[in-house]
Structure 1
Amino acid sequence: MLSMLARAATRRPLTVIALWVLFLLLGFGLGTGVFSRLSDNVADIPGTESEAAGQYLERTDPTGESITAVVEGTAVSDPGLRAQVERAVADVRAVAGVADVPDPYATRGLTAEDGRALIIPVTLEGGLDDDAEERAVDAAADRIRQIDAPEVHVSGGPLLGTQISERAQEDVRNAELISLPVVLALLLVVFGGLRAAGLPLVIAVSGIAGAFLALFLFSEVTDISVYAIQVTTMLGLGLAVDYALLMVVRFREERRSTEDVVEAVHRTVAAAGRTVLFSGLTVAVSLTGLLVFPSVFLRSMGLAVAAVVVVDMLAALTLLPALLARFGGRISPAKVRPEGEEGRVFARLARFSARRRIAVLATVVPVLLVLALPVTGMTINLGDAKQLPSSTEARQLYDTVDAHFPPGTGVSPITVVLRPGTDGATADRIRALSPTAESRELSGGATVVRIRPPGGVDGAEATALVERIREVRGDEPVEVTGPAARLVDFREMLADRAPWAAVTVLAGIFALLFAFTGSLLIPLRTILTTLLSLGAALGVVVWVFQDGHLAGLLGGEGLDALSLTAPPLIVAIAFGLAMDYELFILARMREARELTGDDQQAVVTGLRRSGRVVTCAALLLAVVFGAFMTGGFAPILQIGLGLTLAVLIDATVVRMLLVPATMALLGRRAWWAPGPLRRLHDRFGLHEETPASPPASPPSVPTNV
């Protein structure tokens, strides 16, 4: 298949390039339409109690969504301000689709005790379609913002989702503006020429277009989270650079042994292209674990990110060979260095780790385990506007309410639905659980009890109260919903499905690595060392963002918990990225082993020839992730830091120290497989063509431009 792709790309390179240009236009034209379709409902899980109760309320409760405004900065008793507020309240009540706007001066709890702020809640009618709801929200928010006060902020409900979507779009644009020039500068240092350095960026732009288009297509059939834009774009950009870097480096090496550009492209695809193919498959398989979870958010993220990985892989295997066939003649071959000079730092690391393998394992493994210790205390929550940067309107509203009103003000209540037939004694016991319980009858005989929990919307008190209500109800037809109940259901879902997700991913990765190496022990060793680096990275994220250590240096703050989106995405994506670097190294080790038959020397040669690529790829990927962390959105900060650390730890400590140490410890046994499996691999596994050794001196070729 790879040979066929290489021949097609080199036979008609302009046709292949034109097809990809069309794809880019679709991605940046049609694909960017996904920004208007993003959802902030990440905790909804079909079939759970909280989801069923929420759907029941949508059908029977006449009230709809709500937004909240806060006015601050001057005495609320000022007659001029009061007159403006009263006029604004009257005007908003007259907006089509608005059900209720209480008078903040006449309603208890809506004016601050210090007299410096007031809250204006706006409740919409139930059953509005999306367009009617949007018109009502925009009209109400615009009218409230006309109040002449030092600070007027409006957010919440559907408006919060819009604000987060706009912030996501801005963050992506800024991250691209930061990362692309830095990546280009680093590539110029790596390659020493603009043409070779520019090719990975072309593939990277293709990855971004693929991210947008994949998300848009998936938005036709499922909800797409606001987090998907940053996550898929950063991964699409980073992996595209990784794959293109590997291919271009190999192309320049092949150019040392042939003046025929097309032949060099074919050799590149035959060798590095196979590594890219398996790398893309392993990343995609790592993300299939997300499909095990019934969460719409996790499934859509898994599908979208896997689609982006496939786009990057295809671009590296088709577009890049076409570009190399058309313009590769102007790219100079890699320099021929004296014997022992090429990759000597990595060779020394490999020899050191192999000689001191026990000392390396005894030092590195405990350090990584210590870094991973905070994971044992990790907790997750839905989060609130505190996760947003302080410059956003939603965060400013949150900070204003927090500064002027008692704790718990504005916290979404726990909603208990008492279906018809619920025993009165059970209903009384539920109401008795909190003095804040308020009841309201619905049509059809159901009753809604809303309880405002102490603490945060999804804090320990709120989730404990949800679990207590579910204990008290017994077998009665009572359901609990609201943010706290959704969090409880999400945690239970993770606990139930995580083992199955792990088995699915590990089995798939094991099978692919066996097909790549023909060994049973190398896949096992790879999985164990990767879990170490992953645990260390996630442990640092918990220590920083949950416990609050050094979070301010990254533009964040301690939140007492991680966003529920962060851990599953960090684990799935980082595991796949780690496989990238493992395959880069194993491919070179395998080549050297087949050429020399010396297992120990193959480890040194493999790291010597792949270390520079792995290090550069990790550095470039870290730059991309770091650029996305400049937005200040807490979940993206957590995901970005987790992936950055996972990549850097894996590409340095694990691949440069643990891999040669463990391979030396295993020796010839590293490539062992029982007879039947060996025969199976000989028939169906990957059999990469072993390239000829490069000549001692390069042929005469044009210099780099």
Structure 2
Amino acid sequence: MITRLAGPAMHRPKLILVLVGIAFLICGAIGSMATGRLTNGGFVAADSESARVAEILERDYGMSGMQLVFTVESDGGAQAPASAARGREIAERLRGDERIDKIVSPWTDPAMGSMLTSGDGKIGLIIATVLGGENDAPAHAAELADELTGARDGVTVHAGGQAMVWSETGTQTQKDLALAEAIALPLTFLLLMWFLRSAVAAAIPFITGVAAIAGTSAVLYLLTFAVDLSVFALNITTAIGLALAIDYSLLIIGRYREEIANGRDKRRALELAMQRGGRAVAFSGLTVGIALVGMSFFPMDFLRSLAYAGLAVVLMSIVLTLTLVPALLTLLGDRINRKPLREAKPVEQSLLYRIARVVQRRPAVCALPVLLLLVLLGSPIVGVKLGLPDERVLPTSLESRQVGDLLRDRFSGNGLGTVQIIVAAPARDGAVPDLRDYQAALSEVADVRSVTGPAGIFSGGELRAPAGPGTTAADSAYVAVATGLDPYSEAGQRQLDALHAVPEPGATVLFGGFAQQTADSAANIAQGFPYAVVWIAVVTFLLLFLLTGSVVLPLKALVLNVLSLSATFGALVWIFQDGHLGGLGTAATGYTIATIPVLLFCVAFGLSMDYEVFLLARFTEEWEQSDKTRQANDDAVALGIARSGRIVTAAALLMAVIFLGISASGVTMNRMLGLGLALAVLMDATLVRMILVPAFMRLLGTANWWAPARSRGFLEKVALRE
């Protein structure tokens, strides 16, 4: 496979470069249309309880779309003539717009005045429902906000709500991607020149990385015709594609230079580099792809779409490395070397070799402090709380974030936190039972302001007003629970549990709304996580078993990877959930965005195994050429670390720079992922590779290479060798 891909590149390099250049232009043109087709949703599974309620409300009650909130503020108060006139003007404008389904305001709905007016009386809210679903509603909201917001006659109007949050998230994400590329690309090229000591050599991985960016954007665009693809895929997959393309290119260049230094001619050196380095690239890509496929075990479209996009990007990075890189090396030849590499100092004199030998002399003493540090860093995981993202993931400069802060700080109620309940009629008679007692019991739950349904409007267990229209359908009833709590908070979740605990009224009850979406999201994560872990662990183990011929080495790799990942995620919980270090400029909400642990686990696991594969492939190569003694095991480890050390260190640093570019994002989710992936890569390339790997390999000795006797014949037939 590797020879078939690399062969034409070495024989007809100019043709390959022309074909890649044409593909680059086509992909760039196609990829430029990708952002307009990406969505912001998919955080809750389509078959979850809250999603079923949303479907029933849209189908039977005409309640569809996303919320758009306008704040009308003046020093004279919400009911001052100027404020009231502006509020009525906006309300009437929205009522006449075909993009708006429903609208309430204190000027058009006096009964809701107390809920829609701030505690100091200076701000009035207009809450509208925007039609169009996840794809069109945010765009409609942005258009309306551009038209209706601003300051006039002492009255200031701002726009927020879910529709505006999604609109501004998409816009901010695109800006962040441009910023990340502006930071990462120049730094990457400078670091490549520093590591490779040649501008010509640095150009090879840089060109491959830029080609990966164009290819990634085209892949994303094409995938949108098959699945709903999240806007967050833009940053994540672009970074993965760029990082892997540069990473794999460095490995091939490093192996090519090593073979030149060993006295090979240019042609033979490139063949060996592609055979041996190409095998490591293929294995690494497989392990990264396997980890990303793990996201497909979760029922949320957001994660599944990232799994598909990530897998496609990994495959593209492998193909680029095995075609574009050998073509460039064939044409550039010795020009990538600033001085003859045969003059390089012996590997035994390198710093990494000496560090490995020091660790091998005292493996337990060296490993124990590192293990304790990783456990300490991972300890905050026990306090992790999962929730859905709200406007606080955005920077404070954006309007939707400012409106959200106003709602939390200056309103006693929460007009956006309504708990939606559907009471389904029993199948036997098709009639909804009397809900008077049920609604009364719901209204007695702590912090519930009112309960509106077919039996009327209840508060504090008492009927306060008769029922309004639109609370019943053919085979169900709709009950709305107005609450004064933030649906994303712990108090909001406790209240949801208390509402669930109210005895059902002799019919099936389904809950919806933001609080239920948060609970469903956490349940979805818990549902898919065991399957993802088993998939990643088993398939990765089998691949590493075929690579090394050992049962022990794959198990060691999995254990060390889990340790470094737990330490990384623990650090993120400590910073972003608990608010230490000022949350690095983000709002500490007291919970972690539910999809972050899955994304971090799958992506970081694959990238960490990336370096583990490089090491194991080199260890195996050295071991197979040895006399298989304990000393040979130690030599294989020290030589493997030293010979792959410069390239692995360079690749890790470059990958960290790329991910830190993402962490410059104004969106909390991207900032967490960027920092988390950078920490995972750096931790794996330093503490794990330089200390824990040689320590454990020394302690186990020749047992590292053990495999059941019955598997030897099987391995001879199917083991993945050059």
Establish whether TM, by shorter chain, passes 0.5. yes
Partner of 2:450: 436
Correspondence 1:273 to 2:278? yes
Partner of 2:90: 88
Correspondence 1:579 to 2:609? yes
Amino acid at match of 1:96: E
Output the CA distance in 2 between the equivalents of 1:139 and 1:168: 19
Output the CA distance in 1 between the equivalents of 2:397 and 2:240: 26
Partner of 2:585: 555
Deviation at 1:214, TM superposition (A): 2.4
Output the CA distance in 1 between the equivalents of 2:321 and 2:139: 45
Partner of 2:60: 60
Deviation at 1:256, TM superposition (A): 2.9
Identity %: 33
Secondary structure in structure 2 of the residue aligned to 1:591: helix
Correspondence 1:144 to 2:148? yes
- Deviation track 1:668-700 (CA, whole Å, cap 9, x = no partner) reads 111111222122222111223xxxxxxxxxxxx
Q: Is the 8 A contact 2:256 2:270 kept in 1?
A: yes
Superposition pairs of residues 456-535 of structure 1, within 5 angstroms: 456-474=486-504, 476-535=507-566
Amino acid at match of 1:45: A
Output the CA distance in 1 between the equivalents of 2:119 and 2:369: 58
Output the CA distance in 2 between the equivalents of 1:446 and 1:651: 58
Output the CA distance in 2 between the equivalents of 1:590 and 1:343: 22
Output the CA distance in 1 between the equivalents of 2:83 and 2:340: 72
Deviation at 1:150, TM superposition (A): 7.2
Are the structure 2 counterparts of residues 150 and 593 from structure 1 closer, same or farther at C-alpha, using a change threshold of 3 Å?
farther
Output the CA distance in 1 between the equivalents of 2:528 and 2:115: 42
Partner of 2:462: none
TM-score, normalised to structure 2, is 0.90
Are the structure 2 counterparts of residues 464 and 42 from structure 1 closer, same or farther at C-alpha, using a change threshold of 3 Å?
farther
Superposition pairs of residues 265-414 of structure 1, within 5 angstroms: 265-332=270-337, 335-337=341-343, 339-340=345-346, 344-406=350-412, 408-414=413-419
Correspondence 1:75 to 2:76? yes
Deviation at 1:109, TM superposition (A): 3.1
Are the structure 2 counterparts of residues 117 and 478 from structure 1 closer, same or farther at C-alpha, using a change threshold of 3 Å?
same
Output the CA distance in 1 between the equivalents of 2:81 and 2:657: 54
Are the structure 2 counterparts of residues 121 and 267 from structure 1 closer, same or farther at C-alpha, using a change threshold of 3 Å?
same
Secondary structure in structure 2 of the residue aligned to 1:33: coil
Deviates more, 1:217-226 or 1:446-455: 446-455
Output the CA distance in 1 between the equivalents of 2:195 and 2:139: 53
Output the CA distance in 1 between the equivalents of 2:15 and 2:377: 51
Secondary structure in structure 1 of the residue aligned to 2:311: helix
Amino acid at match of 1:592: E
Q: Is the 8 A contact 1:36 1:165 kept in 2?
A: no
Are the structure 2 counterparts of residues 270 and 20 from structure 1 closer, same or farther at C-alpha, using a change threshold of 3 Å?
same
Q: Is the 8 A contact 1:343 1:609 kept in 2?
A: no
Partner of 2:694: 660
Specify which of 408, 433, 437 is matched with residue 423 of structure 1: 433
Output the CA distance in 2 between the equivalents of 1:288 and 1:147: 49
Partner of 1:206: 211
Output the CA distance in 2 between the equivalents of 1:344 and 1:129: 59
Superposition pairs of residues 593-632 of structure 1, within 5 angstroms: 593-597=623-627, 598-632=632-666
Amino acid at match of 1:361: A
Q: Is the 8 A contact 1:520 1:672 kept in 2?
A: yes
Partner of 2:5: 5
Q: Is the 8 A contact 1:243 1:316 kept in 2?
A: yes
Q: Is the 8 A contact 2:471 2:478 kept in 1?
A: yes
Output the CA distance in 2 between the equivalents of 1:388 and 1:419: 38
Deviation at 1:667, TM superposition (A): 0.7
- Deviation track 1:616-660 (CA, whole Å, cap 9, x = no partner) reads 111111111111111121111111121111111111001100000
Partner of 1:703: none
Output the CA distance in 2 between the equivalents of 1:651 and 1:393: 41
Deviates more, 1:671-680 or 1:39-48: 39-48
- Deviation track 1:127-154 (CA, whole Å, cap 9, x = no partner) reads x688985785455323322552575321
Deviates more, 1:303-312 or 1:67-76: 67-76
Gapped regions of structure 1 (runs ≥ 5): 689-705
Are the structure 2 counterparts of residues 428 and 410 from structure 1 closer, same or farther at C-alpha, using a change threshold of 3 Å?
closer
Output the CA distance in 1 between the equivalents of 2:138 and 2:588: 34
Partner of 1:701: none
Secondary structure in structure 2 of the residue aligned to 1:364: helix
Correspondence 1:31 to 2:31? yes
Deviation at 1:79, TM superposition (A): 3.9
Deviation at 1:346, TM superposition (A): 0.5
Partner of 1:698: none
Output the CA distance in 2 between the equivalents of 1:200 and 1:563: 34
Q: How many residues align?
A: 684
Are the structure 2 counterparts of residues 104 and 426 from structure 1 closer, same or farther at C-alpha, using a change threshold of 3 Å?
closer
Specify which of 231, 234, 240 is matched with residue 229 of structure 1: 234
TM-score, normalised to structure 1, is 0.92
Output the CA distance in 1 between the equivalents of 2:244 and 2:510: 44
**What CA RMSD, in Å, does the superposition of the two structures yield over aligned residues?**
2.4
